[in-house]
Chains A and B, each alone.
Chain A
Amino acid sequence: MSPEECLYTKEHEWIYVENNVATIGISEYAAGELGDIVYLELPEADSSVSQMDPIGTIEAVKTVADLYSPVSGQVIEVNEDIVSNPEAVSKDPYENGWFIKIKLSDPGELDVLFSYEEYRDYLGEQEAEKHEEDDMMEEEDE
């Protein structure tokens, strides 16, 4: 799926919904920030998850991050290929890098997620905030 077709969380998960089934991964931005991913711990198939609950762990060389579920529902498929080859997340976050598929229990929950454009603006705002601080620092420096 293309990034433009996905919805996003503040925690940088993407979600693509088709026929009430959500495919979930992490955004290219998140994959870039995490760097080389070493290990993934994903929920088991058939388990139930709730929106924005931590449902897994992404372990990179330099840090560890929680994976949050963008929606509530039942896990119907886990990408075993990505568990054995987590480096694919960084290379191809939107295609082969997907994590799990969830059958939605409440499609209404999708309303609180970012659209592609909203997510892009959100990232822009975050970066701008940091640059502002850094620029202030450099001015002080000069």
Chain B
Amino acid sequence: MGKTVFEKSSSGRRAFTLPPNDCPLEGLKQLITRKGPVGLPEIGEQDLVRHYIELAGKNYHIDKGMYPLGSCTMKYNPLINEELAGLGGFTGLHPDQDVGDVQGALELMHGLERALSEICGMGAFTLQPAAGAHGEFTGMLIARDYFLGRGEKRKVIVVPDSAHGTNPASVAICGFTPKTIQSNELGLIDPAILEKEVDGETAVLMLTLPNTLGLFEREIAEVVRIVHDAGALVYMDGANMNALLGIVRPGDIGIDIMHVNLHKTFSTPHGGGGPGSGPVGVNAELADFLPIPRVIKEDTGYILSCDSDKTVGRIHSYFGNFNVLVKAYAYIQTLGARGLKQVAMDSILNANYLMNRLEGTYSLKYPGPCMHEFVLSARNLKKNGVRTSDVAKRLLDYGLHAPTVYFPLIVEEALMIEPVETESRETLDAFAEVMERIAQEAKESPELLTEAPRHTPVRRLDEAAASRNPDLQWRPEEK
């Protein structure tokens, strides 16, 4: 590894010089003046620029190559979104400004809420949750208050074993008890099993649709009926909404509460690229439970209303990650209804193309057709002493990002792949060729995999030690 910017520091060098202070410091001194030096690196501008260019070159990002991650839609972030979000009228806003001064921003939020409601067939949306799991948490709060209001003490949330790992965690943090149900041999919810597990104790069925195997729940109508007949609600984790845009509206199939991930389905940056956003939608009956403040359109303009007895309250400072909302709104408006449907269809087509090409090279436990993603297993390579983690590490040697591995837990040696709609056929073919070559290497020279990666800045890291004793902060050596 190269040196950190601190290790490149040399006393007296400067990339930037502040003018001498011309403000009196009296009165401020004790409160805010530093007692010692800041400890910033001292480095010239050219060396500083080179340092970060070198780091950026080592980085892997969506503008450099494909991210075949499953269940974590990592899609292209269109440049026009960044341009619009960068407009001074948005970036210069302060959340404490008078509503009369921010009508444009409120109109955008209102428009996005309406668009998401239309796309998902829900009664209303809140834009406040800052991530998918935060959306799940908000959804669980809404369910809790809904049943409290009805005087019902329902404590159990049923979660299929094909759901996202955050689901049972969000359930537990809201004081509910998660109860896992097993998928059937097709990787789907079995209505007969569900019927036995759902009763008067059940508050919510929390499902991921399509599920993490990339499969649409074929019995969804029956599943929803069973849950509703028991007086419970259906929550949909919409992290995989990319496959449904313009094709299925969750509200139409009876979903009561759901979240979408703007940083997945609606193309805003993901991971290190920028904060997330996990808006929550509810059916019209539950709209009063949404967090406050809500954007309301009146004859005279938009207002922020805190007027609700039933609201779960505030779940984020101010109004959520506003700048992310601008990007998602730009994406929706750019594509329109037809464009969004094309997104879903192309993402399904790309996934099925790759799945069909790679099935046979890797094993496929649950047969397709799939939706936007699919789960392979490297189990067939185990006899060569090779595991999924070795395949993943070898992909790095080919300059590719690895797919999600070892998830979902119901597939042994899982490789979960989601190519998304924007990748061209050439890119998909190139990825498939590498995956085929790696499977061949596993048979002929497995050490290429078990010793991978060989061509990355660092070789294989000790993941157990990293989990057990994480060392997250660089510290100067004691002198």
**Does B379 have its Cβ within 8 Å of any Cβ on chain A?**
yes
Q: Given that A133-B363, A137-B363 are known contacts, is A38 also in contact with B468, CB under 8 Å in the complex?
A: yes
B380 interface residue per 8 A CB criterion: yes
**Residue positions of A touching B, CB distance < 8 A:** 35-39, 59, 61-64, 86-87, 130-131, 133-134, 137-138, 140-141
Which parts of B388-444 form the interface with A (CB within 8 Å)? 388-389, 405-406, 409
Cβ–Cβ contact B360 & A63, under 8 A: no
CA–CA, A39 and B469, complex, Å:
11
B40 within 8 A of A: no
| Chain B residues within 8 Å of A35, by CB | 387, 389
Alpha-carbon distance between A140 and B363 when the two chains are bound, in angstroms: 12
Does B363 contact A62, Cβ atoms closer than 8 Å?
Answer: no
Residues in chain B near residue A62, CB distance under 8 A? 388-389, 405-406
Instruction: From known contacts A38-B464, A61-B463, A62-B405, infer whether A134 and B389 are also in contact, taking CB-CB under 8 Å.
Output: no
Could you tell me which residues of chain B, from 323 to 376, have a CB within 8 Å of some CB in chain A? 360-361, 363
Report whether over half of chain B's contact residues are helix, strand or loop; otherwise say mixed: helix
B363 touches A134 (CB 8 A): yes
Q: Which residue of B lies closest to A134 (CB)?
A: B380
Contact A61 B379 (CB under 8 A): no
- Cα A35 to Cα B450 with chains together (Å): 14
Q: Which 10 interchain pairs have the tightest Cβ spacing?
A: A36-B464, A62-B406, A38-B467, A134-B380, A61-B463, A141-B360, A63-B406, A38-B468, A61-B464, A38-B464
Chain B residues with CB under 8 Å of A63's CB are 406, 409
Residues of B contacting A86 with CB < 8 Å? 468
Identify which of B360, B387, B406, B467 contacts A137 (C-beta below 8 A). Answer: B360
Q: Please give the distance in Å from B181's CB to the nearest CB on chain A.
A: 15
Can you list 6 A-B contacts with CB-CB less than 8 angstroms, sorted by A residue number?
A: A63-B409, A64-B409, A86-B468, A87-B464, A134-B379, A140-B360
Q: How far is the CA of A36 from the CA of B461 in the complex (A)?
A: 13
- Of the candidates B361, B388, B467, the one whose C-beta lies within 8 Å of that of A39 is B467
**Complex-state Cα separation, A53 to B466, whole angstroms:** 31
Instruction: Give the distance to chain A from B469, nearest Cβ to Cβ, in Å.
Output: 10
Q: Give the residue name and chain of the A residue nearest to B409 (CB).
A: A63
With a CB–CB cut-off of 8 A, which chain B residues contact A87?
A: 464
A130 touching B379, Cβ below 8 Å: yes
- Which residues on the A side are within 8 Å of B380 (C-beta)? 134, 137-138
Determine the distance from Cα of A86 to Cα of B465 in the docked complex, in whole angstroms: 11
A38 to B470, CA, bound (A): 11
**CB-defined contacts of B361 to chain A, threshold 8 Å:** 141
A35 vs B390: C-alpha distance when bound (angstroms): 13
Q: Are A61 and B467 in contact (CB under 8 A)?
A: yes
CB nearest to A65 among chain B residues: B409
Name the residue among A61, A63, A133, A141 with the largest chain B CB count within 10 angstroms: A61
Query: Distance (Å) between the CB of A89 and the closest chain B CB?
Result: 11
Residues of chain B lying within 8 A (CB to CB) of residue A36: 463-464
